A and B are shown apart, each in its own frame.
Chain A
Amino acid sequence: MPEDEIRSLITDEHRALVGVQGEPATVTVREADAHRLRDLCGDDDPRYADGTGIAPPYVISSLGNASRRESPNILPGGLMTQQEWKFTRPFRIGEELTAISQISDIRERLGGRYGYSILITTTTNYYDAEHNHVAAVMMTLTQFDPAGAGETE
């Protein structure tokens, strides 16, 4: 389809979501998740051994994204294309954290592997009981129409 025939699917309603914080959600750094991911990675780092009370940084992938339910589904296909993890301090097994999420950006892209696509970036910050920052995740989900996607082996 010629570019001049493509209309933006991003509406003012979508743009209004950018920067609006979701309701705080409580998440727990679960020992089972920490040990499962550590073992899957074959991680023998003594800092994360049983009994240390410290979880490996990648346990952040199990904490969840409280804002996900607020992200608009504009196109039917979706793949994560960018992600950033930031760590202010190590995770402690069993600690409860407050997750505060927001949509940081919504933009569109023409061309490339997925054709016309929508990029939605969400940011989730995690705070401990003393309101100290512990970590953050920024994730960009690329939404696309599978009918316009190329093929990858």
Chain B
Amino acid sequence: MTQRYFEDVVIDEELEPLERIPTVELAGGFSPGQESIMGNRFTDAAVNREIGIRGALVPGPLKIAWLTKYVSDWAGVGAEIASIRVALRRPDVAGKPLILSGRVVDKRISDGVPLVELEVVTLADGQPSVRANVQVRMPARA
């Protein structure tokens, strides 16, 4: 895991795309706290037919966790995720590969803290299913 420093980050820098496959097992393992509001939509495709979704849903927190880790791995262990804000634009179904990609959109010092902001997405069949903005507290060389 490479350590990046605030001074070295370049706006418009793109992150290397990464493929993740959300299996039903992963979906079920990441959603035990959500059954009360979501039923068994993460493990049972039949339940989703009534809302027009053909397959078991991929839980939003799993995709957010993947995006968090994706950015965290890019930034290095000396950085900290400050926030991630996501719009879940389309439901994803288990078994379909997702491509994670992103780019740096801003860097600034805020209250003395070096911050970098990235836009990241998950792509399913080439279309964004999740869009996110991530703020990272970066280490500085100085």
Measured CB to CB, the residues of A under 8 A from B are 36-37, 40-41, 43, 45-47, 56-58, 61-62, 64, 68, 77-87, 90, 141, 144, 146, 149-153
Contact = CB atoms under 8 A, between A and B. Distances in A.
A50 B33 CA distance: 23
A9 B30 CA distance: 33
B97 to A, nearest CB: 14
Contacts of A58: 61, 64-65, 68-69
Contact of A61 (B33, B88, B91, B93): B33
Interface in B46-67: 50-55, 60-62, 64-66
B53 A36 contact: no
B85 interface: yes
A46 B77 contact: yes
Given A58-B68, A152-B90, A83 B54 contact: no
B86 A84 contact: yes
A43 B84 contact: no
A98 B131 CA distance: 30
A78 B61 contact: no
Contacts of B37: 68, 78, 141
Query: Main SS of the interface on chain A?
Result: mixed
Interface of B: 1, 26, 29-30, 32-33, 36-38, 50-55, 60-62, 64-66, 68-69, 72-73, 77, 80-88, 90-91, 93
Contacts of B81: 57, 87
A152 B26 CA distance: 21
Contacts of B72: 45, 57
B56 to A, nearest CB: 13
Nearest to B129: A152
Contact of B60 (A40, A83, A151, A152): A83
A82 B72 CA distance: 21
